[in-house]
Structure 1
Amino acid sequence: MRYVVIGAGAVGGAIGGRLSQSGHDVVLVARGAHHEALRRDGLRLVTPDGTHRLPVPVADRPEAVELRPDDVLVLAVKTQDSVAALDAWAPRPVAGGGVAGDRLPLVCAQNGVESERLALRRFRQVYGMCVWLPSTHLEPGVVIAPCAPQTGMLHLGRYPSGADETARQISADLEKSHFLAPVVPDVMRWKYAKLLSNIANAVEAVCGPDAGADAAALVERAKAEGVAVLDTAGIAHTSAAEQSAARTGKMDIQPIEGRARGGGSSWQSMVRGAGTIEADYLNGEIVLLGRLHGVPTPVNEALRRTANECARERRAPGTITAAQLTRIIDAA
């Protein structure tokens, strides 16, 4: 198999870099200054066991990749960018005939639960991946993946459910590449549990990663709404105990000399001044389900709105304190 990683940021760069390091055929797809740095210098993957300079092939657009029948597409862009990426890659021709949407498997290595549905409109073979992979991408050409002994845990399964030989082959390659990659028949149960964790992303992005007790209290209020929504909707999600049992002692964040630990994916979008944030598909997913099932979600509604405003205005994390954000939410 060759892995074409669409979106070689924190998650995509870590997955693609580790696969390449272990001898697998990989193409990274990136844009702008990140693409130029990867093309010029290769990927610098910083891990607890050192800095690895990896000369991974890189492309900046679908037309620059000649797709093969043995390719696996790994979608690792933020969900707000999924439609554009899927529309660009699904009609691409594959050597021997046909197009990617009909012939190639696509793995959604993303937060949230919406991209799989978007992908299934365009691709016959869609796989969900629940990504537990603390990693950072703030500098062109550089991805920091601080966990050890395993770089991350990537539950994998067919969407909407099931497991097959393709999933098992992908899992085997990942598990030779510093990942835990269990193949599960109910991958969305894991992804909905991750969604509850990602509710906190908006608070961290707006207030900063060390915002104290007020931020923690907001996160708990938002998560309580999320649990109530999923329970009312009858959507299964793994328990905290099940998640802890799967990860504890297997992928712990380690200090890396000269590299301060920052925040999660939404915080990184704010620091980079991306202009967009994934809150519509994290807090916004809870809001959507709440509206569908008659469950009030005022905290998540306010977090979604405020995070989007801050992203559009390219504010730095911490320009709104957790106390101020709490007052905004309570007023709403």
Structure 2
Amino acid sequence: MRYIIIGAGAVGGTIGGRLAGSGHEVVLVARGAHRAALEDGGLRLRVPEGELTYRLPVVEGPAGLGELRADDVLVLAVKTQDSAAALQAWGPAPVAGGGTAAERLPLLCAQNGVESQRLALRIFRNVYGVCVWLPCTYIEPGVVSAAGSPLTGILHLGRYPHGTDETARLVAADLEKSHFEAPVTPDVARWQYAKLLANLGNALEAVTGPMESTEAVALFERVKAEGAAVLAAAGILYAGTEEQKAVRGDKVFLAPLHGTPRGGGSSWQSLTRGTGTIEADYLNGEIALLGRLHGVPTPLNDLLQRLANTFARERRAAGSMPVAELMRLADEVDH
């Protein structure tokens, strides 16, 4: 199988680089300065064993490949706010032997949140969800860092909305040869909703910086509790804390990368790169949506969604709001 990584940033670049490192055929999809850097110097993947460079084909879209192959696997790894455009671009792409990518090829949604696979299923017949437990960073064009050790990450995957099949098992086997654990599960959404609760802190980290103070940690717990109440009202099941610990164990811990500070999560990285957009609408905004549908107030998630979008739109510096100021705003809305 050939893997086409649509969005070769932190997650996509790490998955693509690790697959290439274990001998799999990989194509990277990127734009702008990142694409230019990948073409000029290759993908520079910084991992605990050192910096690895992979010179891989790089395209901006399906036109760069002509006809797709029947053995292609599409891995959607853009931020959710960019999913619709990517799906519309790749869905109609012709496949050798007839038909289109949307009709014939598997599409794996390796993203935060739960919305992209719903968007994908409107266009693609064969959609797979991936729960991404993968500490990785993309700040500099051409460079992706992944500090996870001894495994780079854990990627639960399965068909969406439910089920498993041979394609999922074949992809999992390739991932497990590439420094990942990849459990194939018929209920991948249950793991994704657990990850969603953890990702509710992304906006908090993005606007105030690493959650190191007791005040920030306490606020995060309030935000998660609000999310858990919404999921309960919606009747949505998710993997509990003990189940997650049992699966993760000590398989992924952060190893120091020489000359590469860890930085923050995906939302912090978006602000740091000054992209002008952020995924808060599909993280805190997912909880806000479910809250409105099921009559549960979500003032804290509403606040974080609004702040994150303002920071992205105005290109404010990541971590520039004092924690005390955020706490004051949170107490004002949550009373």
**What interval of TM-score do these two structures reach, taking the shorter chain for normalisation?**
over 0.9
CA contact (8 A) 2:161 2:189 kept: yes
Deviations 1:166-197 (A, max 9, x none): 00000000000000000001000000000000
Whole-angstrom distance in 2 between the partners of 1:233 and 1:226: 11
How far apart are residue 280 of structure 1 and its match?
Answer: 0.3
How far apart are residue 284 of structure 1 and its match?
Answer: 0.3
| Larger displacement relative to structure 2 (82-91 or 252-261) | 252-261
Question: 2:58: which partner in 1?
Answer: 58
2:156 is paired with a residue of what secondary structure?
A: strand
Question: 2:75: which partner in 1?
Answer: 74
1:230 is paired with a residue of what secondary structure?
A: helix
How far apart are residue 330 of structure 1 and its match?
Answer: 2.6
What pairs with 1:109-148 in structure 2 (closer than 5 Å)?
A: 109-148=110-149
Question: 1:27: which partner in 2?
Answer: 27
What pairs with 1:1-332 in structure 2 (closer than 5 Å)?
A: 1-66=1-66, 67-332=68-333
Q: Which amino acid is 2:15 matched to?
A: I
1:256 is paired with a residue of what secondary structure?
A: coil
How far apart are residue 70 of structure 1 and its match?
Answer: 0.4
CA contact (8 A) 1:279 1:307 kept: yes
Whole-angstrom distance in 2 between the partners of 1:300 and 1:16: 33
CA-based RMSD: 0.8
Q: Which amino acid is 1:207 matched to?
A: T
1:37 is paired with a residue of what secondary structure?
A: helix
Whole-angstrom distance in 1 between the partners of 2:107 and 2:328: 43
How far apart are residue 218 of structure 1 and its match?
Answer: 1.5
How far apart are residue 14 of structure 1 and its match?
Answer: 0.1
Whole-angstrom distance in 1 between the partners of 2:211 and 2:43: 29
Deviations 1:116-170 (A, max 9, x none): 1000000000000000000000011100010111100000000000000000000
2:206 is paired with a residue of what secondary structure?
A: helix
- Structure 1 residue ranges without an equivalent (≥5): none
Structure-1-length-normalised TM-score: 0.99
Q: Which amino acid is 1:61 matched to?
A: G
CA contact (8 A) 2:138 2:144 kept: yes
CA contact (8 A) 2:284 2:305 kept: yes
1:320 is paired with a residue of what secondary structure?
A: coil
Whole-angstrom distance in 1 between the partners of 2:169 and 2:239: 21
Structure-2-length-normalised TM-score: 0.98
| Larger displacement relative to structure 2 (304-313 or 209-218) | 209-218
Q: Which amino acid is 2:177 matched to?
A: K
Q: Which amino acid is 1:305 matched to?
A: R
Q: Which amino acid is 2:279 matched to?
A: E
1:185 is paired with a residue of what secondary structure?
A: coil
| Larger displacement relative to structure 2 (206-215 or 112-121) | 206-215
Whole-angstrom distance in 1 between the partners of 2:92 and 2:330: 43
* Number of corresponding residues: 332
CA contact (8 A) 1:196 1:227 kept: yes
Q: Which amino acid is 1:15 matched to?
A: I
- Structure 1: which 4+ aligned runs deviate by more than 2 Å? 329-332
Whole-angstrom distance in 1 between the partners of 2:188 and 2:18: 22
2:136 is paired with a residue of what secondary structure?
A: coil
CA contact (8 A) 1:62 1:89 kept: yes
How far apart are residue 210 of structure 1 and its match?
Answer: 4.4
CA contact (8 A) 2:61 2:90 kept: no
CA contact (8 A) 1:91 1:101 kept: yes
